[in-house]
Structure 1
Amino acid sequence: MNKLTASDSFIKTEGLISLWDFQNKEGDTFIAKGPYPYKLKEMNGAVDVIEAPIAGGKAIDLSDSKWLSIAREECPMLNIYGADARFSVMAWVKRTERSSSGCEFVAGIWNETKKRRQYGLFINLEIWDSSEQACGHVSAVGGPTPGYKYCMTSAIGTTPVAKGEWHFIVFTYNGSESTIYLDGVLDYREGYNPYPYPDGIFDGGKDGADFTVGAVNRSDEIGNFYHGLLGGLAVYNRALSENEIAELYSKSID
């Protein structure tokens, strides 16, 4: 398959905000394709760009605590919040082994230190008897879930996201539930995926969180680093259907 056509399939899907296929770089920033060419800035040194058999044909290496960010004021369309919030966050990931354990953040607007959580795509949250699955975290309160130390409101799939392999993970929110898809299909888990959540998304206001990729601010420092390759990162302003997600999956593999 022509790799440019793979990127085009994301761009032509209704509701796209931004797609980073890591083909366009300017200085220390990666420029998105689509209606909003937001710039992801390297935050811990330069990241390597490599050839990859997925959408766009490129991926970045986020090993060694590398991560990316866009200041909140520079990406207003990614600041999705309120009772009418709808979105899809998706990425191609190829996880690699690491010496540390714990959850890994892929992308979203999520600051735990300042209690400015909105939405975030994670892997390996390790809550609700989970381990190594993709997870779609949502918050209407910004801080921890009432009655808990941490935020506990998350769609969590059944299938571990295997390391050393390319996988397409998608997180959607349709105003009533958060849902995780793995490799084009709903990764169903009773009670947790889809995860009922009609409460909407927290409004962080002017002091809310930035959009980050590969890490989040928690415990007064940057952490929850994603470890591996990342490609084909896209955000939409609506919850895509399973059929649409399956089509994007099939069109973005080589």
Structure 2
Amino acid sequence: MTFGKDFSGPGSVNKSLSPDSRAVRQVLRNRHLVAFWDFSEVEGCAKRDKSQNGFILQEYGNTPLPVVDEGPVSGRSVRLDGASYFSIPYRQSGKLNVKTNEVTVIAWIKWSGEQTGFVAGMWNEYQDGGKRQYGLFVSLPHYNGKNQVCGHISQSGKATPPFPYSIDYSASQQEVPPGEWCCVAFSYDGAYIRSYLDGVCIPRAPELILHTKGFEGYPDGLVQSKNPYYFPDGIGDNGSDFTIGAVSLKNGMGNFFIGCIGGVAVYDKALPADEIAKISRLFNLSGQ
């Protein structure tokens, strides 16, 4: 087991596939794009984002992370085993640490369905009481997000008073299908968080949120809509690393994503619904 490798040294040739260049160009054309990883590189080569920013992911855990010959974006994807992840340190996060108070994260995944999985973002739940900023998750069951696409935003970086955890996330009406390629996404426009599955955001009616009864001010529990989720507080600059595949918890890294990730795109803008739908349809979700 090795840790913290970016595999970008001498002799590390980027032998990537030729993805659908027309579709990739459409992703890269958006002026609000911050980073776009298509994971087209072979195992052991640096995973560099295709935008002009060129962010390089460092691999942690059981490295090098295996690359498999399937995926809707480039024909390849990285397989995460529940013990490995990618990271970019906070001090190197640059434009990933969005300062626009808006964000969109889109990813092409094949989730195992086994557990909560962090896909991508800047989310640290433990250090200094929490350095949460923004994050795309699959399945956050504690507050009505089981098996759904969840978009998490935090201004303070800490838990949401009076509750023990951060409650501020949207959750899609649709469930993420285990073992199938799909496109998961969320956007935040400074007021509302919206979750999308395969480019579709379905509103949810107000509902009683699990695990909220009996807290100060909420004797009968909290009732709210999970999609879109109202959160006017904004995104904090709280010092979190950017990660793909896991987040920092009290006992170390956790919320490991198990499955394949074939692409991740981050924007410093809340893309409109029609644009997210368009991007989600650019690539063939058969994964071939």
Verify: 1:133 aligned to 2:141, yes or no.
no
**Residues 142 and 202 in structure 1, CA contact (< 8 A), matched pair in contact too:** yes
Per-residue CA shift, 1:38-67, capped at 9, x if unaligned? Answer: 011111121111222412222110124121
Q: Give the counterpart of 1:217 among 242, 245, 248.
A: 248
What residue number does 1:173 align with? Answer: 188
Cα deviation for residue 213 of structure 1 reads 0.5
Larger RCO (alpha carbons 8 Å, 6+ apart): 1
Separation of aligned partners in 1, 2:76 and 2:245: 17
> Counterpart amino acid of 1:107?
A
Name the SS of the counterpart of 1:131 in structure 2. Answer: strand
1:142-157 mapped onto 2 (5 Å cutoff): 142-157=157-172
Separation of aligned partners in 1, 2:24 and 2:193: 25
> Counterpart amino acid of 1:198?
P
Q: Give the counterpart of 2:59 among 42, 45, 58.
A: 42
**Residues 43 and 65 in structure 2, CA contact (< 8 A), matched pair in contact too:** no
What residue number does 2:226 align with? Answer: 192
What residue number does 1:112 align with? Answer: 125
Structure 1 unaligned blocks of 5 or more: none
Separation of aligned partners in 1, 2:227 and 2:113: 26
Separation of aligned partners in 2, 1:26 and 1:230: 14
CA RMSD of aligned residues (A): 1.7
Q: Give the counterpart of 2:87 among 63, 69, 75.
A: 69
Q: Give the counterpart of 1:94 among 100, 110, 114.
A: 110
Name the SS of the counterpart of 2:119 in structure 1. Answer: strand
> Counterpart amino acid of 1:8?
R
Name the SS of the counterpart of 2:145 in structure 1. Answer: coil
> Counterpart amino acid of 1:217?
S
Report the more deviating stretch, 213-222 or 49-58: 49-58
Name the SS of the counterpart of 1:186 in structure 2. Answer: coil
> Counterpart amino acid of 1:33?
K
Q: Give the counterpart of 1:236 among 237, 260, 267.
A: 267
Aligned sequence identity (%):
35
**Residues 134 and 152 in structure 2, CA contact (< 8 A), matched pair in contact too:** yes
Verify: 1:80 aligned to 2:80, yes or no.
no
What residue number does 1:10 align with? Answer: 27
Cα deviation for residue 75 of structure 1 reads 1.8
> Counterpart amino acid of 2:183?
F
Separation of aligned partners in 1, 2:151 and 2:178: 19
Larger Rg: 2
> Counterpart amino acid of 1:170?
A
Separation of aligned partners in 1, 2:145 and 2:187: 19
Separation of aligned partners in 1, 2:258 and 2:159: 25
Separation of aligned partners in 2, 1:77 and 1:25: 26
Residues paired across the two proteins, number? 245
**Residues 43 and 67 in structure 2, CA contact (< 8 A), matched pair in contact too:** no
Cα deviation for residue 242 of structure 1 reads 1.1
Q: Give the counterpart of 2:48 among 26, 31, 35.
A: 31
> Counterpart amino acid of 1:88?
T
Q: TM-score, length-normalised on structure 2?
A: 0.81
Name the SS of the counterpart of 1:124 in structure 2. Answer: strand
Q: TM-score, length-normalised on structure 1?
A: 0.91
> Counterpart amino acid of 2:229?
Y
> Counterpart amino acid of 1:106?
V
Cα deviation for residue 13 of structure 1 reads 2.2
> Counterpart amino acid of 1:89?
V
Q: Give the counterpart of 2:258 among 218, 227, 239.
A: 227
Separation of aligned partners in 1, 2:166 and 2:45: 32
Q: Give the counterpart of 1:159 among 170, 174, 189.
A: 174
